[in-house]
Amino acid sequence: MGRVITIANQKGGVGKTTTAINLGASLAIAERKTLVIDCDPQGNATSGLGLRKDGNTPTVYDCLVTAQPLRAAVRDEVHFSCLSVVSASRDLTGAEVELIDRADRQKILSEKVDVLREDYDYILIDSPPSLGLLTLNALAAADAVLIPIQCEFYALEGLSQLLNTVRLVQRAINPGLEIEGVLLTMYDSRLNLAKQVAAEAREYFGGKVFDTMIPRNIRLAEAPSFGEPIASYDLLSSGARGYLSLARELLDRHREEKIA
């Protein structure tokens, strides 16, 4: 059964979508069958992987508001043989309004994702930078949530609201939801502020903070505009090395948990 991880943070620009794209690609390089589901109406994970709207292929919007199965929206072998994607479209902006009267509105995605668990080792969900119905669906569908934090002055601000939402989902919708880990992004070892944020995050979250920190890297910032994950855009860059290291750390954690 594949592990479902939602990548969430209510703040934009923290590396949420960058992590969905590049962790997904790195897991695929490690020959783990990986599905990235773009649940953000901005569709940045979709465009960042070089996908355009295909009139013949449903998007996650079609799967949420109609009876379309999620499998019908999967695009296979995106850049790597083990990487698949369910794309988003601007139509998702209206999905929350269209679903408001549905009794099962918070668990629609969960029911559709569960059907695909046996097909993948990992399913990564890129959620919107807000705490609305789409994010609730993404958390309800997940086994765990991965939280990227940018190494800046207000890094931990607003996290309490996200953690409160996670606790609410645990109590009311998805009692098995865990914190997969906290990922420090845009880390610059030359800056005292970055070191201070890293220390505060480790003090607050303890062992949940990944040892891997994603460096501030120009090539990593450029890659989405070319529609490529960093591993195919510039494999030798520090950004590519960072996400490959994160994938190894994630796999090692899960291997140790299975042994335990």
pLDDT band for position 1 (50/70/90)?
Answer: confident
pLDDT digits (tens, 9 = 90+) for 12-39: 767 899 999 999 999 999 999 999 999 9
Greater confidence (193 vs 126) lies with 126
Rounded CA gap, 50 and 183, in Å?
Answer: 25
Has this prediction a pTM greater than 0.75?
yes
Given this model, what pLDDT does residue 67 score?
A: 85
Residue type, 215: P
pLDDT digits (tens, 9 = 90+) for 197-211: 899 889 989 999 999
Residue-averaged pLDDT of the chain: 93
Q: What are phi and psi of 202, to 5 degrees?
A: -70, -35
Q: For residue 8, which of 139, 97, 110, 117 has the smallest C-alpha distance?
A: 139
Q: For residue 33, which of 121, 143, 142 has the smallest C-alpha distance?
A: 121
Radius of gyration of the chain (CA): 17
Q: Starting from the edge strand earliest in sequence, which strands make up the sheet with 144-150, in order?
A: 74-75, 83-86, 34-38, 122-126, 3-7, 144-150, 178-187, 209-215
Our CA angle for 194, 190, 146, nearest 5°, is: 35
What is the DSSP code (8-state) at residue 206?
Answer: G
**Number of separate helices (H) and strands (E) present in the chain:** 11, 8
Given this model, what pLDDT does residue 36 score?
A: 98
